[in-house]
Each structure stands twice: as structure tokens, then as C-alpha cells.
Amino acid sequence: MPDSKTSGPATPPRAARKPHSFTAQDVEIEDPYTWLRDPGYPEVSDPEILDHLKAENAYFESVMAPQAALTETIFQELKGRIKEDDASVPAKDGAYLYHWRFAPGAQYRTWLRRPVAGGAEEVLLDEPTLAEGQDFYRLGDLEVSPDDSLLAWADDSDGSERFVVRIKSLASGSVLDEAIPNTSGSVLWAADSRTLLYIELNENLRPFRVRAHVLGSPVAEDRVLYEEADDGFFVHIGETQSRAFLLIRAGDHVTSEIRLLPAAEPFAEAVVVAPREAGHEYDLDHAGDRLFIRTNDRHKNFRIVTAPVATPGRDHWQELIGPSDRHYLRGLDAFKDQLVVRERIDGLDQVRIRRHADGEEHYVAFPEASYAAGLGQNPEFAIDRLRLVYTSMVTPPTVFDYDLATRQLETRKVQEIPSGYDPARYVTKRLLATARDGTRVPISLVHAKDFPLDGRGALHLYGYGAYGLGMSPSFSTARLSLLDRGFAYAIAHIRGGDELGYHWYEDGKLDRRNNTFNDFADCARHLIAEGYAAEGGISISGGSAGGTLVGVAINDEPRLWRAAVAHVPFVDVLNTMLDDSLPLTPMEWPEWGDPITDKAAFELIRSYSPYDQVSAQAYPPLLITAGLNDPRVTYWEPAKWAAKLRATKTDDNLLLLKTNMGAGHGGKSGRYESLREVAEEYTFLLMAFGKV
């Protein structure tokens, strides 16, 4: 691969002119690249910073230019697997059937509805028109009013996640002159179809205040329904499946507090279901005269209780479904006649259906032994069919309707792959690696049937391992471009996710964070031992907190990897967790620890923080991505990391930093533009393996 030590962009001399150090927990910390943080953030206007990022982007383009034909070939493959005129399965909601559609060549969806009784199709929202002329466009919530006459939506035009709420008359097609800026992107109608709830962001971009806008009134006069005083708690809004109640939730990653508002009386005094208690997490739904509450008050895998709507407090909770070490209850939805529980048993997704009338219950039977499954779009309260979504490592995303009476699955849609796909060409497996502490860690694996098992093959390993977000063994059309070029693809279900239950999450956070990093390396070693790769024959990737994982992996055991890709990586962990002015920091302390007040947390974070632990050693080829407007992982984290690596590492392996100058945490928007970035990533991996 190209020589990054001699060919990479030089770090601007400003780094040497402005050394920076600070003291925390009585430790002096040097941070020579802090100048890359613009003091005017979230606005970035410092010309030296912008010039540095542009120089890195120019270097990225120059390195990748000789492989432009390969990148274009892969891009066309990825694009060829996407149905140009794709559409969703219509979902009935009252008098209308709602769906979305892509026009051929369109980057964004058009949202439509048509009367159930028959009649012309109506365009609700045309994203291509709204996105025209913009480098970035992202739609937030999209909600039709209960009387079907109005549409409220929120959109973000720069990736900063500061959404503008707008309202449209569906009769006239005109957009009302009542735009609401600086919101989280969530909108919620009250029952009167005149009152719209939304969430305001504070100066630190945290969702902290619920306001209600009454049509025709000045936005400046919108009433505050709830304001959160704790910087560590973010605010969310929702509604029960019955639509009888609006929900205001405040919480962090491990604690929640929910307030109920009658949908017909949005200005009534909200009722707190259970006051916040550190570590107590709950959510709820409603049917009849009862609330159905999922709570971890007595077991980390949760139980389900009921409570009267009139007296929802914990003194009135009655257990409906008890807790279990084996059954991890992940969520619930209360319909008119059934309670639907989403859970995992032995790490496998399950859907349990329980009848209100007599408590009879059963599980939906799915067709494969390893898969990912959950609820699809089910807007109505009274149902006779349940919409489900399903996939596996070899099965494209599938939409089922489950007949509640016959207990049969009806296939409504299987993702079409226009260029062709034969699942018989591939093999998927579930392996168990033994971590260094004896814990058995699952691995999901897919490869072509002729993949060699003698260590000669190329293997790509993906991981995340944070926030209790388990990685599903799901299908990827893009991944086929690696599989068809001789790669095996593995997902390490490491601790820090919740694949095997809530304890799996707890065993990879705070003072047990190192389990996450160790599991990843131990999964790699197991795959080597099983013949899927040789040492130094594995490429790795992860994004955001998964970027932390990648950063630790290449710091700790660089010879294990052939190449690494870190997307918007959270790598400046110590500095970020010490800065409570950043949007997410206070909310993140229950996940990573609070190094400001806790010396042990400070020392632990410092011991693994990828930026702080960069050392004078050889590193594998590395591709880093960033988003200039990213509010989650600020652009300077990957930029500082890349600069420090360039100045410190002893090898001549390639190091690339690509910053999206008009996007945020999710990279470029649009279904095709995002594929170009995947094609670039795959080209980089093929370069690393000498497959170009």
C-alpha cells in the first residue's frame, strides 16, 4: 500500500506552536492537538482547521485515485443490488393505507397514502424535492394528524441533528408559516389535531424541553409541558399503541422516568408513573384500563407488570410475566386484544403473543435456526395480523404478516436484488469463542461455500460492544461484494451489547469495559484457530463506540490485523468524558464512568482511551472517517487521533482520514451517495489484502 509516513499530509506547524497540557485528578496530561477543536463549535470556521481537514481529504483522494475503476465497479455492484423503484408494504391506519416509494434514480423516498375504500394516491411528502440542491438531507419524524388533515415532519439539512419542524395542510398542499427550529426531530400530535408536541434542544444540543405548539399561534409562545433539569437525562416523546396517552420520557442509558398525558388533554398535569431511581429502567404501553410496564426493578432481564391507569404507581404493580435468567425481555406492545413481547432466548430473537382475555400465549415460529426478527409497522390498535420483519446472514430482509388466528406467516415482501442473489452459494454459522476469562462469546459468520479453512482466506471482523446495543445476524447486500472476492465476514457478539441478556451489557461497561476489548481479540484468535484466517490476515471495522473498539485493538495488538476501518470513532474518550459541556458527556457517564469525580474511572478510561494510548509502534493500514457536523463524536476526535498517529507510529503503512464536510454522524445521506463510501471502504480493504 502507499507510504503514509512520507506521502501523508504534514501536520500543520500550529500544533508545535501551541502545546497544550492540563491537569485532571492530579495528573498532567499533554494534548498537542487540541488546537483542532474550533472554539466556536458547533460552528467550525477556523481556516487552519478547515485547511488541515481539506488537506487530509485531498490526500485521501490522491491515494484512492489509482483505484477509481475498482471503486466504481464496486459501487455499481452495490447499486445493482438495489431495486430502483423500491416500495414498502402498505400499512393500514384508519381510513388510509400508507407507504413509501423510491422513484428510479432517486436518492430519497416519496411518502404516500391512498384511501382504503379506493381512490387516488396522494403524495404526503416528497423528500427528493426537499433535498434538491442540498449536500445532506435527513428526515426525522413524519406524523399525520389524527383527523388525517395535516402532516408534521422534521428534517435536518447539515447532519448536526438540529431538526426543523414543519406542518403541511394535506387538503391544499401548502406548508404553514409555522416552522419550529432547533428541535430533536420528534413530533407528536395530540388528539385534537391542533396541538403538536416537540422537543427543544438547549445550547449544548441536548433534548431537554417538551413544548406544545397550537396551530395558528406564534411559535415563540409555545407552552412548556416539561423541562429536564438534569444534564445527564435526555427527553423523548411518544404515545401508547391505543393513542389514549402521550408519553414524556426522561432518562439516560440505565435510568428512566415516564410521565403520562391524556392525548385529549395535552395541557393537563402529567402523571409520573414511577419516579426516577438510579438504575431503574422501565417502559410501558396501554390497553383497556391497564398499563403494561416492562421493568428491571427485580431482575436485570426485566419482568412485566400491570397497573391500573388511575393508580399507576409502583405500589399498584402486579406481576404478569416474571423475570428469568434465560428470557431477556426487550420490549412490549399492547394491542386491543393481545400483548406482544419482544425478547431473546439464548441470544435468539423471539416474539411472544399473550391474549388479554385468558392469558393464553405462544411464540411465533420462524423458519431458520439463526436469524434476527422483530415488529414491523403496526399503527393500529385492534389487529388480526401482526406485521413482522425478518432476516438472517443469508436471507434478505423479509416482511411477514402473522395471522393471529391461524398462526401462519404470510410473506408480504422479500428484498429484491435485481442483479441476482443465490443463497445456496453461501454458508452461515454461529461459533462460540472462549474468552480469556472462560466466557463463551458468540460469533456470527458468513462466507462462500468454497472459502478455504486453512488460514489462507481473507477475514473481516466487525464489532460494536456498547450501550447494550446487540448486533443482529442480519443480511447485507453490500457485504456480498466482499464475500464474492474471497472474504469471510464475522460479527463478534462481544460483551457490552445485550445479545445474551442484560448481564451481557453490564459485563462490558464501566469497570468491566476491558471485557469488550478482550472479547474482540479472543474472537479473532478463535477464528484463526479454526482456520478462517492467519494472524495478520484479519481486517476489522467499527463505528462510533465500535471505533473505540477498533482503536484499542490496533493499540494493543497491531500485528493481529491486516487493516482497520474506524467510522466516526469515539477515540478521544478521556478528554470527552472530562468535558461536561459537550452534548452527550453527562449522559454517557453511566456507560463509561465519570473521570471528573471518580479517580478510578479516570485511570481506567486513560488506560484504554485510543488517543491517549497511541505509542511508537507499527500500526496496520487504517482508514478513519469523520463528520464535520457530527454532534455525537465531534470531528476533532478522529482528526486529533489521525494527527497523533501520523506523528508517532513507526511504520510506513497507509493512514487515511476522510472528513465529510457537510454531514454528521451517519455520513452522507441518500441511498446512493452512502454506497459510494462503502465502495471506498471495500476498495481500501482490498488494497490492504493485495486484491487489487
Query: 135 falls in which pLDDT band (50, 70, 90)?
Result: confident
Contact between 259 and 273 (Cβ < 8 Å): yes
CA angle 495, 496, 499 (to 5 degrees): 65
Query: 2 falls in which pLDDT band (50, 70, 90)?
Result: very low
Q: How far apart are CA 325 and CA 338, in angstroms?
A: 24
Q: How far apart are CA 180 and CA 163, in angstroms?
A: 8
Closest CA to 563 of 535, 547, 541: 541
Query: 7 falls in which pLDDT band (50, 70, 90)?
Result: low
Report the pLDDT value the prediction gives residue 18, as an integer from 0 to 100. Answer: 56
Q: Is 544 a catalytic residue?
A: yes
Helical packing angle, 636-648 and 47-64, nearest 10°:
70
What are the DSSP calls for 26-44, one per residue? TEEEE-TTGGGS-TTTTS-
Q: How far apart are CA 578 and CA 572, in angstroms?
A: 10
Q: What DSSP element (H or E) covers 294?
A: strand 290-295
Query: 632 falls in which pLDDT band (50, 70, 90)?
Result: confident
pLDDT per residue as tens digits for the range 438-486: 999 999 999 999 999 999 999 999 999 999 999 999 999 999 999 999 9
Query: 214 falls in which pLDDT band (50, 70, 90)?
Result: very high
Strand 440-448 relative to strand 408-414: parallel, antiparallel, unpaired?
Answer: unpaired
Say if residue 31's pLDDT is above 60. yes
Catalytic residue among 4, 88, 157, 544: 544
pLDDT per residue as tens digits for the range 488-547: 999 999 999 999 999 999 999 999 999 999 999 999 999 999 999 999 999 999 999 999
Q: How far apart are CA 180 and CA 507, in angstroms?
A: 42
Contact between 627 and 657 (Cβ < 8 Å): no
Question: Which residue, chain included where needed, has cell 486513560?
Answer: 606
Report the pLDDT value the prediction gives residue 329, as an integer from 0 to 100. Answer: 98
C-beta neighbour count of 381 within 10 angstroms? 16
More confident residue, 469 or 15: 469
Report the pLDDT value the prediction gives residue 669, as an integer from 0 to 100. Answer: 78
How does the average pLDDT of the chain come out, rounded?
94
What mean pLDDT comes out for the span 154-175? 95
Catalytic residue among 31, 285, 333, 630: 630
Query: 583 falls in which pLDDT band (50, 70, 90)?
Result: confident
Question: Which residue, chain included where needed, has cell 391500573?
Answer: 308
pLDDT per residue as tens digits for the range 215-256: 999 999 999 999 999 999 999 999 999 999 999 999 999 999
Q: Is 20 a catalytic residue?
A: no
What mean pLDDT comes out for the span 622-632? 92
More confident residue, 674 or 122: 122
Report the pLDDT value the prediction gives residue 668, as an integer from 0 to 100. Answer: 67
Q: How far apart are CA 130 and CA 109, in angstroms?
A: 10
Q: How far apart are CA 409 and CA 386, in angstroms?
A: 9
What mean pLDDT comes out for the span 169-198? 97
Q: How far apart are CA 372 and CA 256, in angstroms?
A: 27
Say if residue 314's pLDDT is above 70. yes
Q: Is 503 a catalytic residue?
A: no
Catalytic residue among 460, 526, 567, 665: 665
Report the pLDDT value the prediction gives residue 302, as an integer from 0 to 100. Answer: 98
Q: How far apart are CA 571 and CA 323, in angstroms?
A: 37
Domains and CATH numbers, the chain: 1-83+567-692 (3.40.50.1820), 87-364+403-414 (2.130.10.120), 422-534 (3.40.50.1820)
Report the pLDDT value the prediction gives residue 19, as an integer from 0 to 100. Answer: 59
CA angle 625, 154, 547 (to 5 degrees): 20
Q: How far apart are CA 10 and CA 31, in angstroms?
A: 18
Poorest-pLDDT segment among 316-325, 504-513, 540-549, 662-671: 662-671
Query: 3 falls in which pLDDT band (50, 70, 90)?
Result: very low
Q: What percent of the chain has pLDDT over 70?
A: 97
Cell representation of residue 327? 428470557
Report the pLDDT value the prediction gives residue 393, as an integer from 0 to 100. Answer: 95
DSSP state of 613: T
pTM: 0.92
669: helix, strand or coil: coil
Poorest-pLDDT segment among 561-570, 588-597, 624-633: 624-633
Query: 15 falls in which pLDDT band (50, 70, 90)?
Result: very low
Say if residue 346's pLDDT is above 90. no
Say if residue 667's pLDDT is above 80. no
Q: How far apart are CA 605 and CA 511, in angstroms?
A: 9
Report the pLDDT value the prediction gives residue 662, as an integer from 0 to 100. Answer: 81
Contact between 502 and 468 (Cβ < 8 Å): yes
